[in-house]
Amino acid sequence: MKPSCYRQGDVFLIPVPVLPPMNARHLRGSVLAEGEVTGHTHRFRQTNEVEVFSWEERLYVEVLSEFAELVHQEHDTIGVPRGGYEVRIQREYTPKGIQRVVD
């Protein structure tokens, strides 16, 4: 049984036991995803409470504080506890293949 996950709209945070290696690409800021049409963002309120990584075409975030607030212009805020997470964006099926939900 895998641990529970957090969901804010079409963004999921899945706890991971191990974070990417040190040579993973660190991304500036605390934005996890942004809407292409709306411009709305899923981001952590305090940039210094998280570190965001990109590794093998996947996105990860490490929460450094006890809780970090994941905020969005329309969705309710989620307090995410300390730890490492894989960031997933909701996917959908098409006959031509699987794609990320586009908004």
Any bridge partners for residue 42, and if so which? 33
Tokens found for residue 37: 């049409």
Smallest separation, CB 66 to other proteins (Å): 16
Binding site for other proteins (CB under 8 A): 1-12, 14, 27-29, 31-41, 52, 54, 59, 74-78, 87-95, 100-103
Smallest separation, CB 21 to other proteins (Å): 19
C-beta of residue 10 within 8 angstroms of C-beta of residue 37: no
Burial of 53 (C-beta count, 10 Å sphere; 0-12/13-18/19+): buried
Smallest separation, CB 95 to other proteins (Å): 6
Q: For other proteins, give the closer residue by CB, 82 or 92.
A: 92
